[in-house]
Structure formats: C-alpha cells, structure tokens
Amino acid sequence: VTANIGDVAQLAGVSVATVSRAIRGLPNISPATRERVLRAAEQLHYVAHLQAPRQVAGRTMTVGMAVPLLTQWFIAQVIAGAEGVLAASGFDLLLYSVPDDHAKQRFVDQLPFSQRVDGLIAVDLPFLPDEMDRLSDQAIPLVTVGTSYDCAPSVTIDNLDAAAKATRHLVELGHRRIGMISHFPPQALMSAGPLLRREGYERVLAEAGIAVREELIVPGNFAMEGGAEAMAQLLAVDRPPTAVFAQSDEMAIGALKTVRDAGLRAPNDISVIGFDDHDMAAFTDLTTVAQPVLHQGETAATLLLDRITGDGSGEVTSVVMPTEVVVRATTGPARSSRTGMAAAQ
C-alpha cells in the first residue's frame, strides 16, 4: 500500500495543506515544520508516490475545476489552494471557465470533463436542480465551493451571517443610512452568495428598525470599476448613505477611490466595509469581513481526493468556514452619532 498525503500529514502532525506546501517548497511555513514533513514523507516513501506514472489504477490523475471568472482574486486564490493539494498528490488540474449562463448550460450539456478527469470541483457556480442531477449522475465525484447542494460535499461560508456581521458593525457605529454594493448584474451568473448577503444586510436593518431603501442597493459587478461606479451612484441619491457595505474588497477599494475623488474621506465622511480580506485590504487599511480563501480551495481538494481514493467516509460533508469582521481604518462613528457623543461629553 502506498502512503497518501493524509498519512504524511498524520505522521507529521500537521494539515494536508501544510504537507502540500512543505513538499512543494512554498513559503508561509516554518523551517522546523518543513523539516518534520519532509522526514515523514521520506519515512513513508511518499516522494515515490509523487513521481508515480500518470495512469494509476485506471485513473486519469487529473481533477477538473470549473470557475466563473479567472481574473477575480477570490477565484484565483481558490484555484491556487486546490492546486497545491492536488499537485502534492500527483494530480494535474484541468481548468474550465464557465463565465455565464450560456457557458454553464454548454458545460452541463456536453459534460466535457467526463472521462477526462477523476473528479470535479465547481467554484461559485449556481447549478439548477436538474443540472446537479446530471453532474451527479457522472461516475466521478463532485465537490462544490461557495454554494452547497444536498448531493455533494461542499466548502462554503455562512454568507447571511457574515453580511449580518458587516451590517451590524455599521449599525453599532451609529449609522442609519447604510448602502450596499452588491451582486452581479442580472445577465451574469448569479450564485446564492450575493443574495444571502443581501438577506443578512436586510435582516440587521430590520432588527435596528431601519427601513430598506432600494436606491441604496446598487450593483458593482464584483470588480473595482463597478465598485467605483456604484459609489458614485450612492453619493448622488437624496440623503446619501453615511456607510456602505461592499460585498467584495475589490468593489470596496473602487468605492474608496470614488470617495477620495469626490474630495471626501473615509471614515470621516463615509464609512466603507468590504468582504473577503483580499491581500490588498490590509495595505489599504480597509475594514472587511475576512474569510479563509486559499483554505477553501485546499479543503475542497482534500475532500475530493478522499472521494477519489475512497479514503473518506463517503458521507456528504459540508464544511462551513468561519468569517470575522476585521476592523481597520475605513469605518468609524456616524457623523451625527459622533456629534452626539461630543455633545454628551
């Protein structure tokens, strides 16, 4: 029996993702840990397995990954996370770009991956029930990231709760006019995430006795430019928002650009909170809701490999990753509330 990456992880007392990183010489790992992992791999002759020939026991040694948009930071990170774990187990990664409904339909109709891969990871793709049936009917296992279905293991976050935390952060700072930069325009693929985040936003407003104003919810296309345009739209409404929750850091950073260009400052004139904890968030002092992104890709790959190799329990595992508000410099007390506090002092 050949040792698998899980055996190495167990022997070294670290996660599968750490084994993957150590073996591939990637950064973010201490020399001591790397040493321990390499020793475990050597003991188990794991290196030999890494260099095994392509075709193993009738397998293609390839995993498919279907994603909506390669240029998006979140997507690139999830791919990188999965790729690391797959490569450490000797699997290649076949990428399928599924940018819109038309492409999704073609993907499901043609099942291009069928017989070319041993398993499929679908990231942020909103499959309809009959589409999921067709995918599940294939002889290969499927794992989803970003959306969850009854019939396949998934890795997600609690989008509703995460958005509620973001909105609550703004409410607790005294904001009452809270805008949201939200989902894709209708022509693009719409996964459940943006809708659940909107629900979280609306629930917290309701709890705080704040009426939802439709003109304060504008689409930003999950891109910097879209965020910039959305903020321009928000600044132009009657009684503009004093705080904005952007559903991605890329949109938040675009929105902050518009704020600066308008001669305003965050958080003095307007507070902005993003979503993701993009690499760039720390460097632009952006308050955000952090989610573990690389780790979602790593976990999806691990779940899929368990299925492919039969190592897992076979149960449908739904991993829900934690999120948390990271307060930096772009959110602060509402101006009226600040005045109020000053008056009280």
The separation between CA 246 and the C-alpha centre of its own chain, rounded to angstroms, equals 15
CA–CA gap between residue 217 and residue 154 (Å, rounded):
29
CB nearer to a second copy: pick between 35 and 279 = 279
Cβ pair 220, 246 in contact under 8 A: yes
CB nearer to a second copy: pick between 80 and 190 = 80
CA–CA gap between residue 23 and residue 42 (Å, rounded):
11
- Give least dist CB 161 to a second copy, A: 27
CA–CA gap between residue 301 and residue 304 (Å, rounded):
5
CA–CA gap between residue 193 and residue 71 (Å, rounded):
19
- Give least dist CB 87 to a second copy, A: 6
CB nearer to a second copy: pick between 21 and 168 = 21
> What Å distances lie between residue 324 and 164, 165, 276, 279, 291, CA to CA?
11, 8, 10, 16, 7
CB nearer to a second copy: pick between 152 and 253 = 253
Which residues does residue 63 pair with via DSSP β-bridges, in sequence order?
A: 93, 119
Strands 324-326 and 287-290: antiparallel
Instruction: Give the count of beta carbons closer than 10 Å to the beta carbon of residue 305.
Output: 25
Instruction: Using alpha carbons, select from 73, 24, 27 the residue that is nearest to residue 248.
Output: 73
- Give least dist CB 207 to a second copy, A: 33
CB nearer to a second copy: pick between 96 and 213 = 96
- Give least dist CB 172 to a second copy, A: 27
CB nearer to a second copy: pick between 155 and 164 = 155
Interface residues toward a second copy, by CB under 8 A: 24-27, 51, 54, 62, 69-71, 76-77, 79-80, 83-84, 87, 92-97, 99-100, 102-103, 106, 110, 112, 116, 187, 221, 223-224, 228, 250, 253-254, 256-257, 279-280, 282-284, 294
Instruction: Using alpha carbons, select from 69, 135, 79, 77 the residue that is nearest to residue 103.
Output: 69
CB nearer to a second copy: pick between 146 and 200 = 146
CB nearer to a second copy: pick between 95 and 320 = 95
- Give least dist CB 66 to a second copy, A: 11
CB nearer to a second copy: pick between 106 and 239 = 106
- Give least dist CB 286 to a second copy, A: 11
Ranges of beta strands (E only) in 199-249 are 217-219, 243-246
Which residues does residue 217 pair with via DSSP β-bridges, in sequence order?
A: 180
- Give least dist CB 224 to a second copy, A: 5
Helix and strand element counts for the chain (H, E): 14, 12
- Give least dist CB 218 to a second copy, A: 17
- Give least dist CB 77 to a second copy, A: 6
Residue 335, classed as helix, strand or coil, is helix
All residues at 6 or more sequence positions from 90 whose CB lies less than 8 Å from its CB, including other chains: 49, 50, 51, 52, 56, 61
- Label residue 284 left, alpha or beta by phi (over 0 means left) and psi (-120 to 50 means alpha): alpha
